[in-house]
Structure 1
Amino acid sequence: MRKIFVFVLLGMCLHSINAQEITPNDGQDNFGSWTMFFANARLSERISISPEIQYRTYEFGSNFNQLLIRNGVNWHITDKAAATLGYGYISTDGTFEEPAGEENTIEHRLYGQFTIKNSLWKFKSTHRYRFEQRFIDTPNGENDTQYRARYLLRLTYPLTEKWFLSAYDEIFINLQEPIFSQNRLYAAVGYTFNKNLSTQIGYLKNHFTGSNYDRFQLGFWYNIDFRGEDNNALE
């Protein structure tokens, strides 16, 4: 079953690359990549922190697009629900070409979110509701403040004790014009090394108005529990 899923995933990637409309020099016709590391440190029964770093490229492993560094403080209401307040630093190269002396757009982002987990049969679901306040500084000296809401639904299905499938859809809605920001559709196969470390290899279709981007994703999730017991922290 794992082999069938991998072949289907590769087929989706190839089909999406061939089917999309191409806009020259914006990176849309390139299969880019996201490399990601997520951590969760449970400090007490109610509190954890969740640092993360993501490095994104227009092409596979090259041509810098974005660096995202983020950290949140989580308040665990129950073992299946948590509220989060956090901050993110985002550096973005908005052009596929890289002229000499080019400066990046810098964003400082405050966010709050609510996450809840459920289970149905072997499926595990995660619902995440996030609100963001974005302070954006562009290379031409213009500053802007924007607001955005996000909703993510993730499904996870175990294949064996170690292997699992993961998929999510996340929609981004601006609270100013234009209303639609983007939509991300993701599918992956994952492997659990131990109770603290897992990885996922997958494919992301990132849809914006008038453009679509195909991205290979490699992610690592690391959990540590300073309580000395099993970690129930949320991703």
Structure 2
Amino acid sequence: MSKTGRISGLFFFLLIGLATFQANAQDTGEDELGAWYMYFGMNRISDDWSIHSEAQFRFYETTSNFNQLLLRTGANYHISERAIATLGYAYIWTDPTFEDEPLQDAAFAGNSIDEHRIFQQFLLYNQVGKFKFEHRYRLEQRFLSQEFSANTTVTDTQHRARYRLQITYPLGDTFFINWYDEVFINLQSPIFGQNRLYLALGAKLNASTSIQAGFLKNSFTGADFNRLQLGVFFNPDLRKKDVQS
């Protein structure tokens, strides 16, 4: 095994150990170690446009108590190699029985919640030495509904702003470390929504595919949740190639 492989393997086991320790160290109701299983895709269809595709399966525990399904898509306009603008839509189904997020409206404490979400996003990229930086700015319009009976449905509309700083550092040609911090700001009361702090080890499998295994600490006012994350990233180039005769 190469030196990079040994370092990466050690890093992975330390990461999992840290996550387990964090989960066991708490003695409150948030001490369950959950998991998010994720797929992300950027499907390039022209020089200027690509299609975002995404699916996330979130569990309150690592393999049980299914908590949330998130499906997201959008149209990306590539302004340049360092800037991308996106308009998109997401559907989110949540079982609040083992909710990650403390509900901000007590009326939503009960049956499953359906959310239709429109979002606008702007990505900026830059690099300093080997460190690659990604700045993500996102606005969301959230339309939530919850049916309690055939004649009773509670609805709500919320607005939110998000900013994520992500840093990637390569460990040779295959492995890399990925870190980010993302803050959620509500555009209604309460102002602070949540903060997500993430650290992962990634591996580039080929030109279009990579995987990541990491640990996420999801913090709310008065509550913290620990989540393992396993992600697959697939970014195929679907542009037609010119055929030389």
Q: Normalising by structure 1, what TM-score?
A: 0.90
Identify which of 115, 119, 127 aligns with 1:111: 119
Identify which of 118, 135, 138 aligns with 1:130: 138
Identify which of 141, 153, 178 aligns with 1:166: 178
In percent, how many aligned pairs have the same letter? 50
What corresponds to 2:57 in structure 1? 55
Tell me the alpha carbon deviations over residues 109-154 of structure 1, each in whole angstroms, 9 at most, x when there is no partner: 0000100111111110100000000000023311000000000011
Instruction: Report matched runs for 1:35-74 at 5 Å.
Output: 35-74=37-76
What corresponds to 2:14 in structure 1? 8
SS at match of 1:2: helix
Task: Note the C-alpha offset of 1:66.
Answer: 0.2
| Contact persistence 2:139–2:162 (CA under 8 A) | yes
CA distance, structure 1, for counterparts of residue 32 and residue 26 of structure 2: 11
Task: Note the C-alpha offset of 1:37.
Answer: 0.5
Task: Note the C-alpha offset of 1:21.
Answer: 5.0
Tell me the alpha carbon deviations over residues 137-180 of structure 1, each in whole angstroms, 9 at most, x when there is no partner: 02331100000000001111110111111011100000001111
What corresponds to 1:185 in structure 2? 197
Instruction: Report matched runs for 1:138-157 at 5 Å.
Output: 138-140=146-148, 141-157=153-169
User: Unpaired runs of 5+ in structure 1?
Assistant: 230-235
| Contact persistence 2:20–2:33 (CA under 8 A) | no
Task: Note the C-alpha offset of 1:96.
Answer: 2.2
What corresponds to 1:232 in structure 2? none
Instruction: Report whether the alignment pairs 1:196 with 2:202.
Output: no
| Contact persistence 1:150–1:172 (CA under 8 A) | yes
What corresponds to 2:220 in structure 1? 208
SS at match of 1:139: strand
Letter in 1 for 2:147: P
Letter in 1 for 2:208: N
SS at match of 2:12: helix
Identify which of 93, 105, 123 aligns with 1:91: 93
CA distance, structure 2, for counterparts of residue 131 and residue 174 of structure 1: 10
Q: 1:125 to 1:51 in 2, by over 3 A?
A: same
Larger Rg: 2
SS at match of 1:190: strand
What corresponds to 1:233 in structure 2? none
SS at match of 1:212: strand
CA distance, structure 1, for counterparts of residue 226 and residue 117 of structure 2: 25
| Contact persistence 1:21–1:211 (CA under 8 A) | no
Letter in 1 for 2:84: A
SS at match of 2:123: strand
Task: Note the C-alpha offset of 1:16.
Answer: 2.0
Q: 1:164 to 1:228 in 2, by over 3 A?
A: farther
What corresponds to 1:78 in structure 2? 80
| Contact persistence 1:20–1:212 (CA under 8 A) | no
SS at match of 2:172: coil
Task: Note the C-alpha offset of 1:8.
Answer: 3.3
Structure number with the higher helix fraction is: 2
Task: Note the C-alpha offset of 1:3.
Answer: 3.5
Task: Note the C-alpha offset of 1:7.
Answer: 3.9
Tell me the alpha carbon deviations over residues 57-111 of structure 1, each in whole angstroms, 9 at most, x when there is no partner: 00111111000000010011001100000000000001129xxxx7410000000
Letter in 1 for 2:121: Q
